[in-house]
Amino acid sequence: MTGILKSLTEGLTITEYSDWVAFVERLNLAVQSGRVRNVPVLRAVWGGKSEEWFLDPQTGEVYGYVPPNPPVYPRWQKVDVLEHLGTPDPAPLSGFKTGQISVMMAHVMKLNLEALVGRGSVEALPTPANVATSKDGTERWYRDRVSNVVYRLVEHYPLKGADDHRWEVVPQAELGGRVQ
């Protein structure tokens, strides 16, 4: 039995613009009718945050789709989900040592965090309203998209006393059901 996902490209060469438009219409109709479901990407096959996975509930087949991004052609291909359930990539934020850090380390971390957010493996979260803010310190929160753990970078420059910079896991009690 041929599944609906495979049949979406019958008679089409999705690298041709008009065929790609027809394919997208077929895919959207299949999703809207409930014959196909959009499911979370467990581990990107081709990388990038534009990759989407689709499930045919009748056959259990999963296909991955990446829209065109010239000069790269669109991709539509069956995904071996079990192969992609293997050892996940290490959680990117777990590579930073928690605890007290230097001013220079805080600066380097901010550059790395910006790059990780740009790649989509880390999400910058808004600082909760209940976190005390002051003119002599900042707090930035980040969620690791692999482990779903929330971290914060605390930078405190008091007028008197030593600077206090820390990288730490946000305790579950402080998350208050916001994330997870």
| Pair 119, 127: CB distance under 8 Å | no
Element (H, E) at 54: strand 52-55
Of the two residues 159 and 156, the one the predictor is more confident about is 156
Predicted pLDDT of residue 180: 39
Predicted pLDDT of residue 155: 87
pLDDT tens profile 100-144: 988 888 888 888 899 889 888 899 998 877 765 566 678 899 999
Predicted pLDDT of residue 167: 92
Predicted pLDDT of residue 124: 93
User: Is 15's pLDDT higher than 70?
Assistant: yes
Of the two residues 3 and 76, the one the predictor is more confident about is 76
Residue-range domain boundaries for the chain: 4-85, 92-175
pLDDT tens profile 86-110: 545 577 888 888 899 888 888 888 8
Structure tokens at 26: 């077929």
In whole numbers, what is the pLDDT of the chain averaged over residues? 82
- 179: confidence class by pLDDT, cuts 50, 70, 90: very low
DSSP letter, residue 22: H
Place of tokens 């901010």: 110
Q: 143: which strand partners?
A: 123, 150
Place of tokens 């041709």: 16
Of the two residues 86 and 42, the one the predictor is more confident about is 42
3-state secondary structure of 78: strand
Position 151, amino acid: Y
